[in-house]
Amino acid sequence: MSRQCSRTGCALPATATLSYQYARSMVWLDDLSDERDPHSYDLCERHTGRLSVPNGWRLEDRRSRRQLVTAGARLLAG
């Protein structure tokens, strides 16, 4: 069974997992994890594409290249 996006009101399937660490002011975006982690958030393509981090924070996108190309092609197509 696929997991849904963690954003309130969104029923789209999750495609990436977001995690963060306050002490390092760091956000990581990874391929969807195999299992749900209570310390991270699963996001759909739409919300992953709109993601922004607070001023002074860094975002490290660690998703696989294939996943990024597929998501980009879908955004261009639709």
> Cα separation of 56 and 18, whole Å?
18
Burial 40-59 (b: 16+ CB within 10 A, else e): ebbbbbebbeeeeeeeeeee
pTM: 0.78
- Each residue's pLDDT, cut to its tens digit, for the chain (78 residues) gives 589 999 999 999 999 999 999 999 999 999 999 999 999 999 999 999 999 999 999 999 999 975 555 555 555 655
Q: Contact 32/3 with Cβ under 8 angstroms?
A: yes
Q: Looking at residue 54, what is its pLDDT?
A: 96
Q: Looking at residue 2, what is its pLDDT?
A: 85
Q: Contact 68/76 with Cβ under 8 angstroms?
A: no
Provide the residue ranges of all domains of the chain, joining segments of one domain with +. 16-77
